[in-house]
Amino acid sequence: MRTQAALYEEIDLELSWSEAELPERERTKHVHRLHPYLGKFVPQLVEAFLRRYARPGRLVWDPFAGSGTTLVEANAFGARAAGCDVSAFNCLLGRVKTAEYEPGTLLADLVAISPGEEVPQREAPSPYLGSWFAPRALAELLDFRDRIEGTAYPDLWRVVLSRAARSARLARHFDLDFPAEPVRGEYVCHKHRRVCRPVEEANKFLRRYVRDAVRRVLEFADVRRCAEASVLHGDARVLDPPWPVDLVMTSPPYPGLIDYHEQHVYAFELLGLERRDEEEIGRGVAGYCEGVSEVLDRARGALAPGGRVIVVVNDRRGLYDGILAAAGLRLEERVVRHVNRRTGRRQGEYFEEVLVAAPARRRVKARA
C-alpha cells in the first residue's frame, strides 16, 4: 500500500484539475449534461489523450461507451467515433449526443411536444411507474411520451423525458442517484437544509429540460469538427469493433460499484427498453478480469499500426497488470490523477489511473 505522500508525488498535476481550474459548467459543457450519469469520465481528460494519440479523420473506439463522453469528444476533436454499450439507455444517450440536429426542424418539434396544461390521470402502465411517481407527475410524463411519436427527433425527446422522470420520482432530493424506496411524506432534506416534500408534477421539469436540451445540442453543433459516430448495443466481449482503430479510449466498469441498468431503471420502464443485466460486466467480481481482458483483446485486434489502448480506472485491487497482459497489451505509461469530486455527498480523496498500453511485442510476433 502506497502512502499518501508517495501517491501525491506520482500524480500528474496537469490532469488533476481543481474546481477553480475546471468548474462544473466546463465538465458538463454542451451535450455532456443532457442527462445525469454516474461513472462518467471528465471530457477534458479524453480531450488531453485525443490530442496526444488520435488524428483527425481517423477512428476512435470505446467498447464501454457509457454516456458517450469519448464519442462526443472524438467528434469535437475531428475524429470519427464508434462505441458500444450493454445498456440500451446508454446507447440511446450516445446516439442522441452525437446526432445532428437542424434548428428549423427542432423548432417544429418544440411545438409538437409542448406539454399540455391539464392532463387527465391514467392507470400506471407498470408497478414501478405506479409506485415511484405521484399520479399527476406520471400522467404528465405519459402525455409527453405520447407527443414524442411523430416528431423528427424522437430519441432526443426520449432523453429529455427520462431526465424529467429522474427529477420527478418520489425520491428524496439528496438521494437521486440510488433512492432505496419511494418517499410520500415530508422529510428533512440534506441538500436544501429544510423540510421538503416529494415532487408531485413533471411538466416543470419537462419544460426546463426541453429548453436545456435544445441549447446544448446546438452548442455542440457549433464546436464539433466531425459528425461521424456510431453506437452498437451489445456485449463488448462478443461484438466486433470497427477496423482500423487509431485509438481506444475507455473506462471499464469496476466490480460491484455501479449497477448500470438499475441506475436508469425509470428510463427502461418509461421507454420500454430491453434490459441485458446478465451481460453487464462488474455486477460481481467473478469473471470480471476475464471479461475486461476479452474486451481489450478484441480492441487490440482492431488497432491500426501505432495505435494505443487507453484505460481509465481506479485500480485499487491491482487487477489491471494481469488484465492488460491477458489482452496481449503492454503497459507504456501509468498516469495517476486526483479526481475532484465536488458533486454528490461522496466523501474522501479519490484517485484514478490512466493506463496507456500498446500491443505486446511477443503476442504480435506469435500471430505474424
Ligand X SMILES: C[S@@+](CC[C@H](N)C(=O)[O-])C[C@H]1O[C@@H](n2cnc3c(N)ncnc32)[C@H](O)[C@@H]1O
Closest CB 97 distance from ligand X, rounded Å: 10
Q: Which of 45, 74, 84, 206 binds ligand X (CB under 6 A)?
A: 84
User: For the window 253-272, what string marks contact with ligand X as x by the rule CB under 6 A?
Assistant: x------x------------
Q: Which of 90, 167, 293, 340 binds ligand X (CB under 6 A)?
A: 90
Any contact of residue 40 with ligand X (CB under 6 A)?
Answer: yes
Distance CA 18, CA 30 (A): 20
Q: Which of 30, 31, 33, 41 binds ligand X (CB under 6 A)?
A: 41
Any contact of residue 39 with ligand X (CB under 6 A)?
Answer: yes
Distance CA 341, CA 115 (A): 35
> Count of residues binding ligand X (CB under 6 A)?
24
User: For the window 103-122, what string marks contact with ligand X as x by the rule CB under 6 A?
Assistant: --------------------
Question: Which residue's Cβ lies closest to ligand X?
Answer: 66
CB contact at 8 A, 228 and 43: no
Any contact of residue 16 with ligand X (CB under 6 A)?
Answer: no
Name the grid cell of 183. Answer: 418517499
Any contact of residue 58 with ligand X (CB under 6 A)?
Answer: no
Label residue 256 left, alpha or beta by phi (over 0 means left) and psi (-120 to 50 means alpha).
Answer: left
- Torsion angle defined by CA atoms of residues 144, 166, 30 and 352, in that order, rounded to the nearest 10 degrees: -160
User: For the window 279-298, what string marks contact with ligand X as x by the rule CB under 6 A?
Assistant: xxxx----------------
Nearer to ligand X, 41 or 268 (CB): 41
* Subset of 209-248 contacting ligand X (CB under 6 A): 235-237
Any contact of residue 328 with ligand X (CB under 6 A)?
Answer: no
Nearer to ligand X, 175 or 279 (CB): 279
Which stretches of the chain bind ligand X, using CB under 6 A? Answer: 37, 39-41, 64, 66-67, 69, 84-87, 90, 235-237, 251-253, 260, 279-282
